[in-house]
Amino acid sequence: MDFAVGVLILVVGLIVSIALHEIGHLVPAKRFGVKVPQYMVGFGPTLWSRTVNGTEYGVKLLPLGGYVRLVGMFPPARAGARVRTRRDGRPTMVEEARAAALEEIGPGEEHRAFYRLSVPKKLVVMFGGPLMNLVISAVLLAVVAVGLGVGAYTTTLANVQQCVPEDPQATECAASDPAAPGAESGLQPGDQVLSWGGTPVETWEEVSAAIEGGGTGPTQVEVRRDGEVETLTVTPTLAERPVVDDDGQPRVDAAGDPVTEERPYVGIGPTFELVRQPVTEVPGMVWDLFVRTGEIVLTLPQRLVDVAQAAFGTGERDGSVVGLVGVGRFAGEIASLEGQGYGLAERTADMTSLLISLNMALFVFNLIPLLPLDGGHIAGALWEGTRRRFARWRSAPDPGPVDTAKLLPVTYGVVAVMLGMSLLLAYADIVRPVSLGG
């Protein structure tokens, strides 16, 4: 039951995000006088609709997207231009698209066509949708970071190991293993480390750095235990420990074996808790999320190849790219997770983080300069403005709006690729699912 509730929460959040994305297009379009016959959330059969001020607002059966239908997206053919036809005399696909784009413009409404807008107004209309997703992502991130907190390792100890295992990969103590310095000094789970070697510490990274830089000599450590401050003497020992990369993953050598090195070792581990962040940290967090999402989108073709190899072969799936099925699985797992220290706040933060990532992905993906994505229309408007500027510089006639209808074959190709990508991810999410637990 909890799993289904989690999926339902995600679906509702996604529908709201889509609805707000389309509002980002709708509001400026109507403000600039463009005729907008339809605003729809979803695809397929209409479940509900109502017409207000000439616009039909509705919800459709399949919540897989949405659209705002703007009249006059494609300009008419230039005066005197040859109208192309098929061999049987029927209009070409491009000519049919032009006619469909203009057929709802009544007498005296020519000024309400989208193509008649100035370049800046076109950019505002088309950028409004992705911008709404960016705002949603940033606002939700601020709410989570400032109100609930971001998961981080703290200076409170979660565990104190009893021995120094000779095997760095060992999970249990052997009879011959010496006692661990932390346990030997009297450190206990629940102790909050206040200072290490006389240096105050506020994060686990600072504790780790103090251990690394302190060597193996006796070290004074201040901890808070049951409200009282105590001072203990810890003498780290040198031990072979795994080397990890910047993402915290163990490094391996050419043979695939873990890389280890001798480092000061105490045998303590931190708790993982939600730590509230100051609001000044939010812009940097939004930027970091944007950069990471952008890197994924830029490397999407290779990542999809890896997904295909995992789905149809024996390749590994890293989980950096999942489809709606996979995201739904994440939501269900979050709602179903149980355990000490994982309560309503942690569940809410994780569920909201899914929506934060989805909205950032919608923002970045929609900026790809290919039709039918918003980025394609933005690129067309920018090219239109560039042509007109060059024409003014050369005192040449206004070249008019860019004829994006000519790009329809490319548009259909992009749609086919996007559909194939969606099907591939859905299949991979089913046969080679990615779990939050790894």
pTM here is: 0.83
Q: What is the mean pLDDT of residues 179-198?
A: 90
Provide the pLDDT for residue 339.
64
Q: Is the dihedral of CA 429, 136, 364, 15 positive or negative?
A: positive
Q: Domain locations in the chain?
A: 151-275
- Per-residue confidence band for 193, with pLDDT thresholds at 50, 70 and 90: very high
pLDDT at residue 438 greater than cutoff 60: no
- Planar angle of CA 223, 229, 233, nearest 5 degrees: 50
Q: What is the mean pLDDT of residues 195-212?
A: 90
- How far is residue 430's CA from residue 426's CA, in Å, rounded to a whole number? 6
The answer to whether the bond into 218 is cis (omega within 30° of 0) is no
- How far is residue 132's CA from residue 73's CA, in Å, rounded to a whole number? 21
Number of other CB atoms surrounding residue 32 within 10 Å:
16
Helix (H, G, I), strand (E, B) or coil at 378: helix
Nearest to 263 by CA among 210, 220, 222, 219: 210
Provide the pLDDT for residue 81.
58
Q: What is the pLDDT of residues 63-72, one digit of tens each?
A: 878 899 999 8
- How far is residue 365's CA from residue 1's CA, in Å, rounded to a whole number? 33
H-helix segments, 61-180: 93-102, 119-142
Q: What is the pLDDT of residues 8-33, one digit of tens each?
A: 888 889 999 999 999 999 999 999 99
Please say whether the structural domain 151-275 has been given the CATH code 2.30.42.10. Answer: yes
Average pLDDT, the chain: 86
Q: Is the dihedral of CA 321, 326, 328, 330 positive or negative?
A: negative
- How far is residue 223's CA from residue 230's CA, in Å, rounded to a whole number? 5
Q: List the single range of 52-56, 185-189, 235-239, 277-281 with lowest mean pLDDT.
A: 235-239
Provide the pLDDT for residue 169.
64
Provide the pLDDT for residue 119.
93
- How far is residue 423's CA from residue 420's CA, in Å, rounded to a whole number? 5
Nearest to 13 by CA among 392, 335, 343: 335
Residues marked as catalytic: 22
Q: Which residues pair with 275 in a beta bridge?
A: 150
The number of residues making up the chain comes to 438
Most confident of 115-119, 148-152, 239-243: 115-119
> Which of the pair, 322 or 241, is modelled with greater confidence?
322
Q: What is the pLDDT of residues 318-364, one digit of tens each?
A: 777 888 888 888 888 888 877 656 677 888 888 899 999 999 999 99
pLDDT at residue 395 greater than cutoff 90: no
Provide the pLDDT for residue 248.
57
Helix (H, G, I), strand (E, B) or coil at 25: helix
Task: State what percent of residues in the chain have pLDDT above 90.
Answer: 39
> Which of the pair, 45 or 255, is modelled with greater confidence?
45
Q: What is the pLDDT of residues 167-185, one digit of tens each?
A: 666 667 777 778 888 888 9
Provide the pLDDT for residue 139.
96
Nearest to 242 by CA among 259, 226, 262, 230: 259
